[in-house]
Amino acid sequence: MKISIATGFFLPVPPVAGGATEKIWHRLAQEFAAAGHEVTFISRTWPGFAARETVARVTHLRIRGADHTPSLARNLWHDFWWGVRVARALPPADVVILNLVALPAWLGRLKPSAGKVVAVVARMPKGQGRVYGGVDLLFSLSAAVTAKLCLENPRLAPRIVPFPFPIDWARHARATAKATSPAPLTIGYVGRLHPEKGLRVLLAAAARLASRADLPAWRLEIVGPWTVPQGGGGEAYRDALIAEFAPALGARLVFTGPEFDAEKLARRYGGMDIFCYPSLAEKGETFGVSVAEAMAAKAAVVVSGLACFHELVRDGDTGLVFNHAAPGADVLLADALARLLLDPAFRTAVAARGQAHARQFDYAESARTVLNDLARITAAQPSGST
């Protein structure tokens, strides 16, 4: 098959500036090319990257993009014009995989030579399902996303297939290096530093833990970007968190900034005994890549009660879930974290079950599934099929 892939307007590929979508589709593009398919990848121009090059048998085309902004309206405007430029650059292909909002709605009608249109719904739908009637296939990151798409447009149901974001399970499993006594246990977070991620709830819970004398030594490590162009809430938001909680947490609290190197990031996860993802983004979260990566690295995970996490974290089995919408959510989160800190046998068992559960999201298996889905809509056989 000839496969084209396009990601969003504000981050480059390879993912030297981060981005789960960019990281995942870059890796899948390489998997597709290794399986014998002709792959073209369109992403944003970036200093040091050629406008056109072929690396690992993937042809990269890079076109002018824009920085992410705090305004949803401005970002949608950028997405629209980015889609226009992507459409012009797309070569003839059998199928085109789009990580954009507007372009899937009209590409099939205006440029059929680009191939069958696949829309990756990587954020909770906000009405686009109503205009996706001409899309040939939709990749949905979770059952919650599928339900919302079907609510917006019931006729899409036969064209929606599950696509939980894949991870490099083996890389993260190899990186496991947990603390041993008397080293402090590490509670970690990896992701954007943005209000919708619930970091204030996590820090408030940590402040409660800091007042307890019955817990083993622990620390809280926050890994991720805070600048607005990288999707964060900005320096003022980060500084406000530090000002509010540093007095209670002191040296226990560490903000490390973002980590874009895959091996180094895996080692970050590997050093975390407990991983907490307290997101409040009811209309944003769709799967939880960092949660799956932490599980693969054998961290015991604690997540908020968002519907998108239900297939990933089973409360008391593969992790713990707290009710983020309840009054006193920070108290509930503190209780969950304390349970894992105080019971090493339970913590180890939860982490082991989580690691085994996350193995199903490995890249190799995901690539095979995606190629079979693409073959079905293009009437082609995936490489190696009989």
Nearest to 367 by CA among 20, 37, 60: 37
Nearest to 165 by CA among 358, 377, 8: 358
Q: What are the angstrom distances between the C-alpha of 301 and each of 73, 139, 277, 368?
A: 34, 26, 8, 28
* Whether residue 128 has pLDDT greater than 50: yes
Mean pLDDT of 153-170: 92
Of the two residues 385 and 240, the one the predictor is more confident about is: 240
pLDDT digits (tens, 9 = 90+) for 361-373: 899 889 999 999 9
pLDDT digits (tens, 9 = 90+) for 23-47: 899 999 999 999 999 999 999 999 9
Which domains are seen in the chain, by residue range? 2-165+362-378 (3.40.50.2000), 169-360 (3.40.50.2000)
Q: Which residues contact 345 (CB under 8 A, 6 or more apart)?
A: none
